[in-house]
Amino acid sequence: MIELTNINKSFHLGGETIKALDNVNFKVKKGEFVSIIGPSGSGKSTLMNILGLLDVPDSGKYILDNVEVQTASDNNLAEIRNKKIGFIFQNFNLLNKMTAVENIQVPLVYKGISNEESKKTAYKLLEKVGLKGREGHLPTQLSGGQQQRVAIARALACDPEIILADEPTGALDSKTSIDIMNELEQLNNNGQTIVLITHDINVAKRAKRIVKISDGKLYEEV
Ligand SMILES: Nc1ncnc2c1ncn2[C@@H]1O[C@H](COP(=O)(O)OP(=O)(O)OP(=O)(O)O)[C@@H](O)[C@H]1O
Ligand SMILES: [Mg+2]
């Protein structure tokens, strides 16, 4: 599903070069649930941005679902991203003036699906993540855990090949974090491929496989 080979990424800042990813090799099979754990500044978000086609490496090869992504144009990359990847972020990234249902409709309408049909899908997804009855609520009228459930439903809207979650429980209390991890585990049990980034070992342990990142280098946990 995902295959990164010899990926390097540096940032240049005021004459200094920061090697954010150092010769990273990483494979994810369909149906896997992998966590990437590492301290602040270790390169987690940089890796997530490359996996999610939000940034490009300086060198190396990235194959996603049999497509060699470095050969794709920007337009093509955006299309691949919309079709194949669902994102979940620490701060939910919901649109605050839109209701729960409308937030989930956004990627569907963007894809060309009608308002009526996308609304139906959004209702179903909200029910799936345990938010039946909250469809018309604005993000500010929902708890943190409920907002993250809306974000999970939105990530699922386009039926992605893979879900990328960057610190999805980072803004939540420990009980709510467990709820959200249960939700992700259930999705994985139903076949959803998930890559989760965290600095919290208790969160990382919920995945079936853990890899460590440190100073831009990736190590497989045994
Ligand atoms: N746009 C950028 N310009 C310059 N340096 C950057 C940029 N983005 C990241 N870096 C540097 O690259 C390294 C890796 O950053 P990254 O954001 O991937 O870390 P992280 O593991 O996600 O950290 P955190 O847990 O704090 O989110 C850090 O040293 C960071 O300062
Ligand atoms: Mg980060």
Distinct helix (H) and strand (E) counts, the chain: 7, 10
Q: How many structural domains are present in the chain?
A: 1
Q: Is 75 helix (H, G, I), strand (E, B) or coil?
A: helix
Ligand 1 within 6 A of CB of 160 = no
128-136 LR contacts (CB < 8 Å, sep 24+): 128/153, 128/156, 129/153, 129/183, 130/183, 131/100, 134/100, 135/99, 135/100, 135/101, 136/99, 136/100, 136/101
| Ligand that comes closest to the CA of residue 19 | 1
Please give the number of the atom of ligand 1 that sits closest to the Cα of 38. 21
Place of tokens 């090869």: 61
pLDDT band at 222, cuts 50/70/90? low
Q: Is 30 helix (H, G, I), strand (E, B) or coil?
A: coil
In a domain, 13, yes or no: no
Percent of the chain with pLDDT over 90: 91
What is the best residue among 45, 200, 218 to mutate for testing ligand 1's pocket, by most ligand atoms within 8 Å of CB?
Answer: 45
Q: What is the per-residue pLDDT for 55?
A: 93
Q: Is 81 helix (H, G, I), strand (E, B) or coil?
A: helix
Give the structural domain span for 143. 29-57+71-220
Query: Chain centroid to CA 104: how far?
Result: 15
What is the best residue among 12, 18, 166 to mutate for testing ligand 1's pocket, by most ligand atoms within 8 Å of CB?
Answer: 18
Give the CA distances from residue 93 to residues 76, 125, 162, in Å, rounded to whole numbers and listed in that order: 24, 18, 18
129-171 residue pLDDT tens: 999 999 999 999 999 999 999 999 999 999 999 999 999 999 9
Ligand 1 within 6 A of CB of 38 = yes
Distance CA 64, CA 46 (A): 17
Ligand 1 within 6 A of CB of 215 = no
178-207 residue pLDDT tens: 999 999 999 999 999 999 999 999 999 999
| Overall average pLDDT of the 3-8 stretch | 97
In a domain, 151, yes or no: yes
From the CA of 123, how far away is ligand 2's center (Å)? 32
In a domain, 46, yes or no: yes
In a domain, 200, yes or no: yes
In a domain, 66, yes or no: no
Spatial contact of 47 and 213, defined as CB atoms under 8 Å apart: yes
21-63 residue pLDDT tens: 999 999 999 999 999 999 999 999 999 999 999 999 999 999 9
Distance CA 177, CA 182 (A): 9
In a domain, 199, yes or no: yes
Ligand 1 within 6 A of CB of 42 = yes
In a domain, 21, yes or no: no
In a domain, 97, yes or no: yes
The phi, psi pair for 50, rounded to 5°, reads -75, -45
CATH number of the domain bearing residue 128 = 3.40.50.300
CB neighbourhood size of 214 (10 A): 14
